[in-house]
Amino acid sequence: MCSCCTSNLSHEIMTVEEAIFFLDNLVYEQTEKHLSRLQQSIIRGVVGGLTYQEIQQNDPIARGYTVGYLGRYVGYNLWKDLTKVLKQAEIIGQEERVVGANLWDSIMRAVQKGTQPSNSVDPILQKLLRMRYRIREHLVSTEYSNTYLAEDENLPDRPLCLVKRLKTQSERTSQLFDRETRVLYRLGKHDRIPELLARFEEDGYFYLVYQFIEGQPLYQELIEGQPWEEHQVIALLKDILEVLVFVHKQDVIHRDVHPQNLIRRTSDGKIVLIDFGAVKEINSSHNSTGQTRSRGGTQQDYIPPEQAIGSPKFCSDIYAVGIIGIQALTGMRPKQLRVDNLGNLIWQKNATVTPEFARVLDQMVLYAFPQRYPSATEALQALQNLGVSSD
């Protein structure tokens, strides 16, 4: 039988989407990482006989990338990783390698060998919720919830959205669910805060669905050893503070402002503030003490002392914004900076900065919170008073 006939027969055995799901599970089995949505788009296009240019032109997921990036970076590394996975699974020989031309045959060889993913694969992946939201990727897990990337199958072009599922139905998680729902619904009316799209209960779990922001997390721009120009930093801080002015006027403290929760939106380059799971309403009766302390990793670098002991203020968000500004200006990670006897950061010798802007940043990150700018409104006004062009 010729290879053409074999390929046609394989397509009858398994659809392209089933093949991608199968391959994704196989990759997860060996690497504990799922194929990204962009990688799945490349696979879908290549199997369908499309060139990288056609994938870039026709697939909304790939549209924001150059053809060269898709082919020379995403595709190249995808084939390399798949080659490693399939060799480890003993599906292809040690001298073989996966390329676009033999991808479908490689998948079919895995199917025919009977390779099956283990039960460790998250069962919610590919599930359809509320007859509408198709779960595609597991993005992040916290103490209280899992967040997934999903497609809305009820709308044209199947736009992306984020689905958050609470892990339990305890009184504590129910309170968090109700609070986040209330706050997101109120705050999501702002153009640069994700909009709450739905809330529901299904199969014993609480779900929130909210807008997916297409863009690049700020942490990808903050590269160690590559300091920004002062005018760039001022423009960034103004962008962040403009959103926080709205948040603070709603009597809400975000409490989780850091570069992973700031997205530079692809459509217009504006900064969007995401992840309101840690918000604290000033007039709320819910006791949120300790939630901040449970958050680890580099996020701790942006948490001021009063918040670390469970007593966040509006100016706690300002502290986080100031740390981001210093990080951008110095090209240094926050934990690389030293502090003086009063607990204040020593950073100016590592930056090229005017005295006026340095004073604003210093006031934003003072150890003693009563001496900081009390909210985003005052901090933004201080930057605007500098009279420095941010073009």
Of 55, 57, 31, 53, give the one whose Cα is nearest residue 43: 55
Contacts of 272 (CB under 8 A, 6+ apart): 192, 193, 194, 213, 215, 243, 262, 263, 264, 265
Of 357, 375, 334, give the one whose Cα is nearest residue 233: 357
DSSP secondary structure, 311-343, as one string = ---HHHHHHHHHHHHHHHHHT--GGGSEE-TTS
Q: Is the CA virtual torsion 59, 64, 66, 72 positive or negative?
A: negative
Please tell me the distance from the alpha carbon of residue 58 to that of residue 56, in angstroms, as a whole number.
6
For residues 265 and 214, is the Cβ–Cβ distance under 8 A? yes
User: What's the gap between Cα 129 and its chain centre?
Assistant: 22
For residues 324 and 240, is the Cβ–Cβ distance under 8 A? yes
Q: Report residue 125 as tokens.
A: 């992946």
Just list the catalytic residues: 256
Length of the chain in residues, anyone? 391
**Site of tokens 């090229």:** 352
Of 305, 315, 314, give the one whose Cα is nearest residue 367: 305
Of 62, 31, 65, 30, give the one whose Cα is nearest residue 44: 62
Return phi, psi of residue 198, to 5°: -165, 155
Please tell me the distance from the alpha carbon of residue 261 to that of residue 286, in angstroms, as a whole number.
23
